[in-house]
Amino acid sequence: MPIHPTWSDLAVRLLCAALAGFLIGFERGEHGRPAGLRTTMLVALAACVSMIQANLLLGAAGKAPDTFVVLDLMRLPLGILSGMGFIGARAMNRFESGS
């Protein structure tokens, strides 16, 4: 992805993520698995958006010469995706235990 992506670049990435989430979720739903179509599509789109945010911040990466602060770009998607993992694990645990 270029440092300054166009709207069409972002749209293609989001559509590809939605398509992949749909295909995986549809297959999981057909087999009666806990995370079905809607959940898988939402997770795929959230992962795509978090990585797009990291890519958009690439121009601000690194350390400015007059500061001690260093921007670590991968912390943003790491935090988002870790939180989604905890929420998904709780949802599946609740589904399997029947509560």
1: pLDDT strictly greater than 60? no
Residue 66: predicted pLDDT: 75
Q: Which tokens hold the place of 50?
A: 């978090």
Helix axes 75-97, 37-56, angle to 10 degrees: 170
> What's the DSSP call for residue 59?
G
pTM: 0.69
Residues 70, 2: Cα–Cα separation, whole Å: 22
| pLDDT recorded at residue 11 | 94
Give per-residue pLDDT as tens, 6-59: 899 999 999 999 999 999 888 887 877 777 788 888 888 988 988 888 888 777
Whole-number Å distance between alpha carbons of 59 and 97: 46
Q: Is it the case that residue 76 has pLDDT exceeding 80?
A: no
Contact between residue 66 and residue 17 where contact means Cβ atoms under 8 Å apart: no
Query: Where are the chain's structural domains?
Result: 7-97
